[in-house]
Amino acid sequence: MESQIHKIHQQLVNKEITCTRLVQDRLNLLKENTYNTVNSLLDQQALKLANKVDAKIAKGETIGLLEGIPFGIKDVYMVQGTLTTASSDILKNYKSPYTATAIQKLLDAGAIPLVKENCDSFGHGSSSENTIFGAVKNAVNSNLVGGGSSGGSAVNVAKDYTVFSIGGDTGGSIRQPAGYNNVYGFKPTYGRVSRFGLIAYASSTDCVGPIAKSTEDIRIVLNAISGKDEKDQTTFHSDAISKERSLKTIAIKTVGYFKNFVENDALDHQIKTDFLAYLEKIKKTGVEVKELEFFESDTLVSTYYTLAMAETASNLSRLDGTNYGERLEAENLKDTYAITRSENFSEESKRRIVGGNQLLSQGFSDEIYLKGLNIRDQISNNFEKDFKEVDIILSPVTPATPPKIGDSLKDPLTMYLSDAYTVGFSLGELPTLTVPKGTSTGLQISAAKKNDELVLQFANFLNDLI
Ligand code: GLN
């Protein structure tokens, strides 16, 4: 698909539409929508900003590419003065005291935030049903889940309610909903985009990234939000990726895929057939396709959930009704903490907090947590070895098509296993993009750490493939 950002930019510059009309129309769509994508609308601020853009255009001043472009924000990012709920009871009245770095960069570029978007509470989930705002419905078939945890963001983009949205991806939460709703979703290399102002889930894999309708829009937004930030010590400097460079597709000679991902019994038959057929198509262009060995899905999923639960238990300990969050008073302080946390966290979040604290406790941490860290190192080493042999790793995004609304809540273990193909790349800190092609839930393109440019180049190469 063509770039929506360039298209709307031209319409604004040519005075074919006003920014106020553009913003008002999208706000109306968001307000009336029945997909449960909205936690709160930022309508007043958005219209004020749109007015400013119109005034600039009227005066004949030039506007930047992102100026006046309406976007959405997963409801886990701070935007000063707005509610940031993480779709949870415990933060349902929490107002952000400051603005997240990635969002501030978009505001500085003139983009206009319209909405805080529904998601799984604290990023805990793969279906956007773990939320106090009602399950997000799939953009293609509203009986199915929107995917998660950035479900509201992916559905808003798919339905054109927002031009792009900023999601969060700890173990697949941008890539999987993008795949479920047929849009692009990018998890950059860990550290390329600052996490400052993102409510932490698992800090060592949390990534900020865009969901959009084209590789070009992903590129534009990625450039705008990337960069070293003194408020997040894991960030690094990265050069902007130019449009010209992103279109240079000659760099890709070899593509790898994981044999065990394809041979996995849990893989849907049609997704498998389509994936293998797509590899054949790539081969026909002269690109070499190589089979690679990788860890079994069970190992990837259990390693990811071990570390993610340990980290989320630590990160959420500050939500105790005293430091942060809705406080429920009891007879003494200890009971106040207990009741506040028992009543205000969802079943799924409590499962993770209890599990995380258990596996960090004395007697368990060596056996489980440290072992998880050790396997994570092995996974990273495996990727390093692979990227000496191949430029890109291609994989399905999900083993199956989106479940019906209600099914994942009944069976959390099956839900965890549905993350089999996304979590490995998170543990490896790799740049990974979902493109809505190849299989019904898309394809994932991964490259070596900090090689985000190559991912976009390969996506553009696939765009040229008929
Ligand atoms: N589904 C995975 C989980 O629940 C990933 C979520 C995410 O990336 N935030 O942990």
In whole angstroms, give the CA distance from residue 17 to residue 8: 9
Structural domains of the chain, count: 1
Per-residue pLDDT of the chain (466 residues; tens, 9 = 90+): 799 999 999 999 999 999 999 999 999 999 999 999 999 999 999 999 999 999 999 999 999 999 999 999 999 999 999 999 999 999 999 999 999 999 999 999 999 999 999 999 999 999 999 999 999 999 999 999 999 999 999 999 999 999 999 999 999 999 999 999 999 999 999 999 999 999 999 999 999 999 999 999 999 999 999 999 999 999 999 999 999 999 998 778 999 999 999 999 999 999 999 999 999 999 999 999 999 999 999 999 999 999 999 999 999 999 999 999 999 999 999 999 999 999 999 999 999 999 999 999 999 999 999 999 999 999 999 999 999 999 999 999 999 999 999 999 999 988 998 999 999 999 999 999 999 999 999 999 999 999 999 999 999 999 988 7
In whole angstroms, give the CA distance from residue 337 to residue 319: 9
Task: Examine residue 378 and state whether it is found in any structural domain, yes or no.
Answer: no
- With a 6 Å cutoff on the Cβ, whether 130 touches ligand 1 is no
- With a 6 Å cutoff on the Cβ, whether 348 touches ligand 1 is no
CATH number for the domain spanning 235: value is 3.90.1300.10
**Positive or negative torsion for Cα 132, 133, 137, 143:** positive
Task: Examine residue 339 and state whether it is found in any structural domain, yes or no.
Answer: no
Task: Examine residue 205 and state whether it is found in any structural domain, yes or no.
Answer: yes
Ligand 1: atom nearest CA of 170 is: 8
DSSP category for residue 242 = P
Cβ(334)–Cβ(341) under 8 Å?
no
Task: Examine residue 423 and state whether it is found in any structural domain, yes or no.
Answer: no
The residues facing 433 across adjacent strands are 186, 445
In whole angstroms, give the CA distance from residue 429 to residue 45: 35
Active site residues per annotation: 74, 149, 173
Q: Which domain holds residue 54?
A: 4-246
The residue among 135, 197, 144, 202 whose CA lies nearest residue 166 is: 197
Write the CA distances from 433 to 14, 339, 452, 458, integer angstroms: 33, 41, 9, 10
Q: What global pTM score does this model have?
A: 0.98
What number of H helices and E strands is found in the chain?
18, 11
Ligand 1: atom nearest CA of 126 is: 1
Task: Examine residue 161 and state whether it is found in any structural domain, yes or no.
Answer: yes
Task: Examine residue 33 and state whether it is found in any structural domain, yes or no.
Answer: yes
Task: Examine residue 103 and state whether it is found in any structural domain, yes or no.
Answer: yes
What residues contact 416, with CB distance under 8 A and at least 6 apart? 126, 301, 305
Residue 300 CA, ligand 1 centroid: distance in Å: 13
Q: Indicate the residue type of 127.
A: S
Task: Examine residue 285 and state whether it is found in any structural domain, yes or no.
Answer: no
- With a 6 Å cutoff on the Cβ, whether 206 touches ligand 1 is no
| φ and ψ of 131, to 5 deg | -150, 150
Residue owning the nearest CA to atom 4 of ligand 1: 125
Ligand 1: atom nearest CA of 418 is: 1
Q: Mutation test of ligand 1: which of 173, 305, 309 has the most ligand atoms closer than 8 Å to its C-beta?
A: 173
- With a 6 Å cutoff on the Cβ, whether 169 touches ligand 1 is yes
